[in-house]
Chains A and B, each alone.
Chain A
Amino acid sequence: MMDLRELYQDIILDHGRHPRNFRKIEHPTHSAQGHNPLCGDRVTVYVALDGDRIADVSFQGRGCAISTAAASLMTEVLKGKTVPEARALFAQFHSRVTGAEPGAGLPEPLGEEMDRLEPLTGVKAYPARVKCATLSWHALEAALKGSGATVKTE
């Protein structure tokens, strides 16, 4: 069995305790809720797009250390990215946390951002926790699609 410290790395505990961009954007261009009915965790992701570029992104909600850190790190890496870049990062992140074969590599600047998300990939050893790491990303996707509906992990 994997050492728990690989799951709960310092950076995850730090972002779990002190989440970045943990606030509401007053006039978001997009927002959506994510809900994990299994644990009752909820997250709302707010996005302010400037054209195709993410000018600001934030979140609010309550969740475990993994889901809070994942949301926090997500907002950090996404700021300034374009929507297609955000989607490419999510696709790569998703395959990394689920242990699926990684798709094509990311262009260099995105690769660095992916490295920042690396600490979260420890969840792939704990299938029940993968949803914690991806909840905010699913909410982001729903926000960008503009469906406005709450996305659920179940």
Chain B
Amino acid sequence: MRPANLRGIYPGAPTLPSPASGGAPGRPPAKAGVPGVGRGFDPEILKREFPIFANNPDLVFLDSAASAQKPRSVIDGTADYYRTDYANVHRGVYRLSARSTELYEEARDKVRRFLNAADRREIVFVRNTTEAINLVAQSWGPAFLREGDEVLISELEHHSNIVPWQLLRDRVGIRLVVTPIDATGGLDLAAFESRLSPRTRLVAMTHVANATGTVVPVDRVVELAHRHRTKVLIDGSQAAPRLPVDVQALGCDFYAFTGHKVYGPTGIGVLYGPFDLLSAMPPYQGGGEMILHVSFEKTEYQEPPHRFEAGTPDIAGAIGLGLALDFIEGLGRENNLEHEEALTGYGVDRLSQISGLRLLGAGQRRLGILSFDVEGVHPHDVSQVLDQHQVAVRAGHHCAQPLMERLGLAGTTRASLGVYNDEADIDRLAEALEAVQEVFNR
């Protein structure tokens, strides 16, 4: 069954320009050659921008929430950088190092634009979201929190937004308070508000929950938290690839996301924080790059962001991330959101027709993630059968064990969307799920 036309996916987008066109020879292309700018996009054409699909022609890739595939512009651009412009960054007098520094810092500018941060110095490069949260927990935490202070998280959190706070609890004696979801799988805002106490110093919460696809109304969360003079950290791992993010409009105090989920390389991520706040924070790690002057008695630290970027950074990773952000901007972030929303809706409709399949609730708004339970069949067995049909999904607890416990599940099977997915992918998933029933209910 094919439903009515999917909003946001326009057929007949122009043919793609050749891969690395647009850049001067020997330079990573400044702008990825992406199709259909201003017109929405066609995943059929987009798939050709991702070499993984040429090399795995039958692949139905529905695991972008774990890690997204990489467009040609990121793969080739990163390789080009190593071929033509590579040298260590900062302090090098020679031209190649200056060029490398320029490209690295240009990537920071691209991230600033992507988040609409006010100042490029508010963008700290880290390894991934996990490191961004650990940075806040280990730098801001001990500097600003005392025993008995509270950090408030939700039941929807990924382990990476739970464990760093437990480590801080063990170190400083803070209390870790957990605010619940409601019966529909959304954040219970009333319960959240009631848990904000005079001792709440930080709310650390996901923007889009990785295990359920729940979109958390972070604007309301920030508003309520700030009314209590509580700082807010948003885990944007799943939101950054899907939603336009504006940290100034949102007013959050920290925003974290990872490169590999926004179609960029692994090993690079971002922590955003307002400059004054970052400036008040002590270094997280010590070493080169983060210092102004070192003697054996005393060291003066750099200003943010370099204060938090000790050692040689992942230069190529940052540049690759910049290219990935170019790619998304080229598609149009509103178009991307529209595509994710339409395909999420189609997925919900299609999967709801499968008997014995129960979709996990995602509250008022679900985006890009379909997490489900197949009655009587363990998620690993489900994904084994799906793999046989070349459908790649994730099975298990999705690094959200407390949430799974809360829902009374050992785990779920999770299909997650990316720019390259289309209705046909969802149809293949649904067909493979019917095969699961055949194998296990024979």
Binding site for B on A (CB under 8 A): 1, 4-5, 7-8, 13, 17, 38-41, 62-66, 126, 129, 132
Contact = CB atoms under 8 A, between A and B. Distances in A.
Contacts, number: 45
A8 B439 contact: yes
A41 B395 CA distance: 12
7 contacts: A4-B385, A8-B381, A8-B439, A8-B440, A39-B379, A40-B404, A65-B377
Contacts of B380: 39, 64, 66, 129, 132
Contacts of B378: 63-65
Contacts of B411: 39-40
A7 to B, nearest CB: 7
A18 to B, nearest CB: 12
Contact of B440 (A13, A62, A63, A126): A13
B409 to A, nearest CB: 10
A1 B378 CA distance: 22
A66 B396 contact: no
A38 B396 contact: yes
Contacts of A39: 379-380, 395-397, 410-411
B198 interface: no
B57 interface: no
Interface of B: 376-381, 384-385, 388, 395-397, 401, 404, 410-411, 439-440, 442
A60 to B, nearest CB: 14
Nearest to A17: B376
Given A1-B388, A66-B381, 11 more contacts: A4-B385, A4-B388, A7-B384, A8-B381, A13-B440, A39-B380, A40-B397, A63-B378, A63-B410, A64-B378, A65-B377
B384 A41 contact: no
Contact of A40 (B377, B381, B396, B440): B396
Contacts of B439: 4-5, 8
Contacts of B404: 40
Nearest to A63: B378
B378 to A, nearest CB: 4
Given A17-B376, A65-B377, A41 B388 contact: no
Contacts of B397: 39-40
Contact of A4 (B377, B384, B395): B384
Contacts of B384: 4, 7, 126, 129
Contacts of A41: 410
B410 A40 contact: yes
B381 A64 contact: yes
B8 to A, nearest CB: 35
Contacts of A7: 384
Contacts of B379: 39, 64
Most A CB contacts (10 A, CB to CB) among B378, B385, B395, B397 go to: B378
B291 to A, nearest CB: 38
Given A4-B385, A8-B381, A39-B395, A65 B440 contact: yes
A62 B404 CA distance: 14
A8 B381 CA distance: 9
B439 to A, nearest CB: 6
A38 B410 CA distance: 12
B381 A65 contact: yes
A39 B376 CA distance: 16
A40 B379 CA distance: 11
A95 B442 CA distance: 30
Nearest to B382: A64
B287 to A, nearest CB: 31
B381 to A, nearest CB: 5
A62 B376 CA distance: 12
Contacts of A13: 440, 442
A111 B376 CA distance: 33
Contacts of A38: 396
Nearest to A129: B384
A68 to B, nearest CB: 8
A62 B385 contact: no
A41 B378 CA distance: 10
Contacts of B396: 38-40
B410 to A, nearest CB: 5
